[in-house]
């Protein structure tokens, strides 16, 4: 099997809906890093030195390559990345090798058979 790492930076209040949608699209789990901060084209607004931007979470999904694009598009739709600029981004990276996923391999094999 070949894998992709789907990484999404989402506003913290959208973490749960994005997680649920990714699971429905085929993701078998995720790693979440809370309270990330980022900056886009425009600098952050501050008030007396305090940042006014919302906190973001980083969601990382190790997924089978045949399901990666659908999961990526689902995350973008639920996170409203294209509809509302500045709400988050997501991308996928090729994974050369992975360990510690033997429990998920059986589930993934069945899902891939259904997809292909």
Q: Would 57 be classed as within a structural domain?
A: yes
Q: What is the pLDDT of residues 16-62, one digit of tens each?
A: 999 999 999 999 889 999 988 766 666 556 656 555 567 889 999 99
Q: Would 7 be classed as within a structural domain?
A: yes
Contact 107, 113 (CB under 8 A): no
Parallel, antiparallel, or unpaired for β 46-47 and 3-11? Answer: unpaired
Domain that holds residue 82: 3-38+51-115
Q: Would 44 be classed as within a structural domain?
A: no
Q: What is the CATH number of the domain that holds 93?
A: 3.30.70.120
Q: Would 84 be classed as within a structural domain?
A: yes
Q: How many domains does the chain have?
A: 1
Q: Would 15 be classed as within a structural domain?
A: yes
Q: What is the pLDDT of residues 55-109, one digit of tens each?
A: 889 999 999 998 999 999 999 999 999 998 888 999 999 999 888 887 777 777 7
Write down the pLDDT at residue 95: 95
Q: Would 8 be classed as within a structural domain?
A: yes
Q: Model-level pTM? A: 0.80
Contact 54, 34 (CB under 8 A): no
Q: Would 65 be classed as within a structural domain?
A: yes
What phi-psi label fits residue 49: left (phi over 0), alpha (psi between -120 and 50 degrees) or beta? left
Q: How far is it, in rounded angstroms, from Cα 73 to Cα 90?
A: 9
Write down the pLDDT at residue 17: 97
Contact 108, 64 (CB under 8 A): yes
Q: Would 45 be classed as within a structural domain?
A: no
């Amino acid at each position: 099997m070949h894998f992709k790492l789907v990484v999404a930076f989402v506003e913290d209040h959208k973490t749960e809906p994005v997680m649920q949608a990714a699971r429905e699209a085929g993701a078998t789990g995720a790693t979440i890093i809370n309270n990330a901060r980022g900056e886009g084209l425009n600098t952050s607004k501050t008030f007396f030195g305090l940042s006014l931007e919302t906190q973001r979470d980083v969601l990382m999904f190790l997924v089978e390559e045949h399901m990666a694009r659908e999961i990526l598009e689902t995350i973008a739709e639920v996170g409203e990345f294209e509809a509302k600029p500045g709400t988050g981004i997501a991308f996928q990276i090729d994974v050369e090798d992975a360990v510690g996923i033997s429990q998920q391999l059986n589930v993934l094999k069945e899902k891939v058979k259904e997809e292909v």
